[in-house]
Amino acid sequence: MTNSPMDLRVKADWVWRETLAIHRRAPETRLASSLSSIEIFVALYYGGVLRFNPSNPRDESRDRCIISKGHGSICMYPILADLGYFPMDELQHVCESGSFLGGIPDPVIPGYETVNGSLGHGLGVATGMALGLKRKASNQSVFVVAGDGELHEGANWEAIMFATQYKLDNLHLIVDNNSISMLGYTDDIVSHGDLGTRLSSFGWDCLEVQGHDVFAVQAALQQQKTKLDGKPKALIAKTLKGHGVPGLENAPLSHIINPKPELIDSLLEKTK
Amino acid sequence: MSIKPLAMRDAFLERIWREMAEDNKIFFTCADFGSPVLDKIRADFPDRFVNVGIAEQNLINVSAGLALEGYTVFAYAIAPFITMRCYEQIRVSLALLSEVRPMNVNLIGVGAGYSYVVSGPTHQCYEDITLMRALPNFQVLSPADHVTAAKFFDACVDTCGPKYLRFDAQVLPVIYENEAPNTSKGFHVHKRGDNTCLIATGYMLHTALKAAEALADEGLQVGVVDLFDLARFSADELYDTLKPYAGIVSLEEGFRGRGGLDSMLFEFIARRNLDAKMLNVGVEGAYHFELGTRTELHEKVGIGPQAVLNSVRAFATSLSK
C-alpha cells in the first residue's frame, strides 16, 4: 500500500485520468460527481485510513466503506482494480454486456458493500453496521461517502440523530460537498446552510477540509478515526463537481453534461 | 384443554425473548411500538434491543446494517408503517441487497386489515399483501391465530432472508387447538368440500370457517384452506388440493382486485391450467372512514360473515361440477 505524500498525489492524478478514460469509453457513467470524490477515496484507500483485504473483500477485520453516492464513484473502479479487487482489464469494459462494472456501481462489484444506486440509504445501513460492530465488541470503523445533494433525503437525518443517540464514534460520514445536485446548486434548491454547524448541532464531531487536498483529507480522517469520544464523525470535504475539466468544473448542470470526447482526449494527452 | 388465545405479537415475541437468552445473534429493533412481552426484551437484553423512534425508514436501514454484521434481526412496527412508509428502504436494503448478501431480517407488522378497528385507514392495512409479494426474495407470512404466528418463529430463525409477518392487532380465537400447522408447504387444509374451496388468509380464515360451517348445516359442503405463506407455498401441493374443485373463493382482508391474494390465485389457476371459476372476497378499492365493530365494517365493504355466506352460497350453487 502506498502512503507517502508524493504517492498520494500521484495516485489521485492517475485515478483522475483513469476516470476520464472510463467515461470516454462509457459516456453513460456520471463523470462530474465521480471527479469530485477522487481525493476522498484515494485518502481512504491509499492513505492508511481504511483496513481492507482485496483477496477477501468481506474479511471480518476490514473497515466497512459504504459508498452511498454510488453513481458518483466511478473513480473507485480504477482504485479497486489497482488494489487487486479485480483485473485491470475490466476497466476496458465498463457498461458493456457481461461486465459487472455498470453505469452505477452495484454490490456485485468486489469492494462494494451495499446497494447505492438509490440515494440516501448508505448512511442508515452504515449506522446499523456501526451499531452491530459495537455490540460485537469489534474495533472496525464504518466510513460512508455521501454527496451533499443526497443529504436532502430525510432518512439521512433519521440516521444522523440515531448515531448520536447510540454514541457511534466508529461511524464516519464523509460528505463530498460539491454543492451541486442534478439541476443546480444545492444552495438554490434546498440549502443545507452551514452544514458543519448543522451536523455539530446534531451532536456530531465535525471537521471541514478542502476536499481536493488529498493530504488534508487523509490527515482529517486519521485524526477522527482515533478519536473514540462517543461522537459520530463527519468530514465535510469542500469539492468541485467536474474537478479539473474545463466547462464541467462547478457548472450547475455538470451532472448531466458530458464533455466532448475530443476534450477528454486532449486533457488525457496534456496530463500524460 | 383449550389454549388461551393470545395476541399474535405476544406469542411471537415470547419466542424471540426465550431464544435471545440462548442465541446472542438475535437483535430486536422497533419503531417506538410496544407490547407487554417487548418490555421483557427491553429489560433483559438492552444490548440487543433498539428503539429507533418514529422513524421506519431508519428502522429498515439500521436492521439491514445489523443483518450485514451477522445478526438475525426482528424489526417491529405497525403494519402499514413498516411496509409503506419505508418501502424503498425495504426494496433497496433488503429485497435487492439480499440478492447478493446473506441477511436475515424479519419485519413484524402488527395491524393487518381492519384490526385497528377504530383508528381509521391510516392504521388499517389493505395493501401490504400486494406490496410485499411484489418483492423477490421476500417471504410473506400471514397467520390466522397466535399458534401459527409463534410457529413461524422457527422458520424466521432457520431460513436466512427477508420476511414480512403480517399480524393481527386483536386477540383472535385459536384455530389450531391441538397442534400447530405444518408450515413447510405454506398452507393447511381444514376441510374438503364438494365443488367449492375457500382459500383464506389471516383473519378471513375465521370468516371462511364460519361460512363453511353454516353452509354445511344447509347441506352444502365447501372446502377451506388456510394459505399462510403467500410467497413460498408448495405450488404442486396446492395444485393437488385445488384440482377437484370447480370453484375457488379467495378471502382476504385487503383490497380486492389490486394484486393481493385474489390476483395471486388468478395467476396460479391460469399458470397451472386449473379448470375453476373464481369468486374474490376483498375490500372494494376505496378507503372508508366509518366507525363500527370489525364485523360491521366488514359487512359494509362486502367481507363480513353474512356477505361472505351469501356470496359463497350463490357462487357454489351456480357451479355445475
Mutation to test the B interface, candidates A115, A123, A157, most B Cβ within 10 Å: A115
Q: What pLDDT score does A257 carry?
A: 87
pLDDT band at B92 (very low <50, low <70, confident <90, very high): very high
Residues of A in contact with B61 (CB under 8 A): 121, 123-125, 127-128, 155, 159
Domain residue spans of chain B = 8-167, 187-318
In angstroms, what separates the C-alpha of A177 from chain B's closest C-alpha? 23
Total Cβ atoms within 10 A of residue B159 = 12
Give the architecture-level CATH label for domain B187-318: 3-Layer(aba) Sandwich (3.40)
Could you give the percent of chain A with pLDDT greater than 70?
98
Q: What's the mean pLDDT when you consider all of chain B? A: 96
Q: pLDDT of A148-201, one tens digit each?
A: 999 999 999 999 999 999 999 999 999 999 999 999 999 999 999 999 999 999
Complex-level ipTM beyond the 0.95 threshold: yes
Q: What pLDDT score does A4 carry?
A: 61
Name residue B222's amino acid: V
By Cβ distance, the residue of B27, B63, B89 closest to A155 is B89
Instruction: State mean pLDDT over A110-137.
Output: 97
Instruction: State mean pLDDT over B291-298.
Output: 97
DSSP E strands, chain B: 26-30, 49-51, 72-78, 104-110, 139-141, 163-167, 187-191, 196-200, 222-227, 247-255, 277-283
Q: Search chain B and give the residue with CA nearest A107.
A: B100
Q: Which residue segment(s) compose the domain that A200 sits in? A: 5-270
CATH value at residue A32? 3.40.50.970
From the list A271, A239, A46, A128, the residue with the least C-alpha distance to B63 is A128
Q: What pLDDT score does A226 carry?
A: 94
Q: What pLDDT score does B2 carry?
A: 83
Report chain B residues touching chain A, CB-CB < 8 A: 27, 47-48, 50, 52-53, 55, 57-58, 60-71, 88-89, 92-93, 96-97, 100-101
Instruction: Check pLDDT > 70 for residue A1.
Output: no
Three-class SS state of B267: helix
Q: Search chain B and give the residue with CA nearest A117.
A: B92
Distances (CA, A) of B300 to B278, B304, B308: 22, 7, 12
By Cβ distance, the residue of B47, B58, B67 closest to A159 is B58
In angstroms, what separates the C-alpha of B215 from chain A's closest C-alpha? 52
Q: pLDDT of B113-131, one tens digit each?
A: 999 999 999 999 999 999 9
Q: CATH: 3.40.50.970, 3.30.60.50, 3.30.1330.10, 3.40.190.150. Which one for B8-167?
A: 3.40.50.970
Q: What pLDDT score does A249 carry?
A: 96
Q: What pLDDT score does A5 carry?
A: 59
By Cβ distance, the residue of B27, B47, B64 closest to A125 is B64
Q: Do domains B8-167 and B187-318 have the same CATH topology?
A: yes
Q: pLDDT of B199-239, one tens digit each?
A: 999 999 999 999 999 999 999 999 999 999 999 999 999 99
Beta-carbon separation of B96 and A115 below 8 A? yes
Q: What pLDDT score does A272 carry?
A: 83
Q: What pLDDT score does B1 carry?
A: 61
Residues of A in contact with B27 (CB under 8 A): 132, 135
In terms of pTM, does the model score above 0.90? yes
Beta-carbon separation of B89 and A131 below 8 A? no
In angstroms, what separates the C-alpha of A248 from chain B's closest C-alpha? 31
Q: What pLDDT score does B320 carry?
A: 62
Q: pLDDT of B183-198, one tens digit each?
A: 999 999 999 999 999 9
